[in-house]
Amino acid sequence: MGKLVVLTLLGAVLALIGERLVAFRQRTNASRAVEPVDLPNCHLIEGLENGSEDIDILPNGLAFISSGLKYPGMPNFAPDEPGQIFLMDLNEQNPRVQALNISDGFDKASFNPHGISTFIDKDHTVYLYVVNHPHMKSTVEEFKFEEQQRSLVHLKTIKHELLTSVNDIVVLGPEQFYATRDHYFTNFFLVLLEMIMDLRWTDVLFYSPREVKVVAKGFSSANGITVSLDKKYIYVADVLAQNVHVLNKHRNWDLTQVKVIQLGTLVDNLTVDPNTGDILAGCHPNAMKLLIYNSEDPPGSEVLRIQDVLSEKPKISTTYANNGSVLQGSSVASVYHGKLLIGTVFHKALYCLF
């Protein structure tokens, strides 16, 4: 009788795991092939060879680009090289990237930049906040941008017990930001279990020097985050749920859900078109190819535009799509005056005129 009970329980567990594995393949679009959508005036950006995971463009056309992310389970072509922040002036006729020098006293050897966000103070000083994973932990680094010297002065390392598995941030004031946590666990094998079982234990935090709190939860894997042009709404990408959450921002920094926009692709980082307010989403059309990398059949890239975000039926269109022959693993897209930058987790970056 005891053996029968054990076998019955074992069978039930195996059946559950099998069902979850099938569901996980579906959630990662493991069988999806990419239908190409090309833009006519594009070229790869020289000097960005090891990723361009996140991009933030200032109102004056200076673009910050994070590069060199080392993320568990993701490909990396330069595992021994530290990460960098690059700058690109989109006002130039033929813009090029330049690695920004970082001030002494900051541990550059373990720099592992992920999501980034800028904040411009009342005196027009530009601050760059960077999600960093030194030794696979999570911190947020605050830098002051010195435009004339093309350098970053490190001001502060922000740590907190809730700032674990941080993916992206959006800064709304001096040391005031929302941050997404893409996993509940930090152990790699528990993270895999978390994704396969679809536990939906990830969340969005609000951080300030006086208060740190969870303001939204229940995400499969909270990823990219940004703010609407009028600062009233926060947009959060749930990569494994293949959707974007629109959240109302309250005066006490709490968030309440307004709507969820389903995309049918695994959405990574989000940016907002400064002219239209549309959301641009860097996406992974088949994330299984990211997790199981094959250079002969690489992960593709996809950029979606979401128009009329607050309407009953937002318009979703594909701006760019590629099967990996040009660009692998797109993670972000950002626009400035008819110019489009598309970044990737670990591969190259694309510059387009449209």
pLDDT tens digits, one per residue of 69-82: 999 989 999 999 99
For 18, 49, 74, 100, 295, the CA distances from 267, given in Å and listed in that order, are 25, 22, 16, 28, 22
Q: Is the pLDDT of residue 177 over 80?
A: yes
92 closest CA partner among 149, 127, 45: 45
Residues 140, 163 contacting (CB under 8 angstroms): yes
pLDDT of residue 354: 86
Q: Kindly state the tokens that stand for 175.
A: 């040391």
Residues 84, 70 contacting (CB under 8 angstroms): no
pLDDT of residue 4: 65
Spell out the residues 6+ positions from residue 104 whose beta carbon is closer than 8 angstroms to its own. none
Binding residues: 53-54, 116, 167-168, 223, 268-269
Which of 43, 114, 135, 245 is labelled catalytic?
Answer: 114
Distance separating alpha carbons of residues 302 and 332, to the nearest angstrom = 9
Binding residues for Ca(2+): 53-54, 116, 167-168, 223, 268-269
Question: Tens digit of pLDDT for each residue in 272-331?
Answer: 999 999 999 999 999 999 999 999 999 999 999 999 999 999 999 999 999 999 999 999
What is the average pLDDT score of the chain?
A: 95
Spell out the residues 6+ positions from residue 190 whose beta carbon is closer than 8 angstroms to its own. none
Q: Is the pLDDT of residue 11 over 80?
A: no
124 in active site: no
Q: Kindly state the tokens that stand for 190.
A: 């528990």
Q: Kindly state the tokens that stand for 352.
A: 């387009």
In percent, the amount of the chain with pLDDT more than 90 equals: 91
34 closest CA partner among 339, 289, 315, 279: 289
pTM above 0.85, yes or no: yes
Q: Kindly state the tokens that stand for 275.
A: 């002219």
Spell out the residues 6+ positions from residue 342 whose beta carbon is closer than 8 angstroms to its own. 282, 301, 303, 320, 327, 330, 332, 333, 349, 350, 352
CA-based radius of gyration for the chain: 20
For 33, 48, 62, 117, the CA distances from 225, given in Å and listed in that order, are 27, 23, 20, 10
For the segment 25-30, the average pLDDT, to the nearest whole number, is: 94
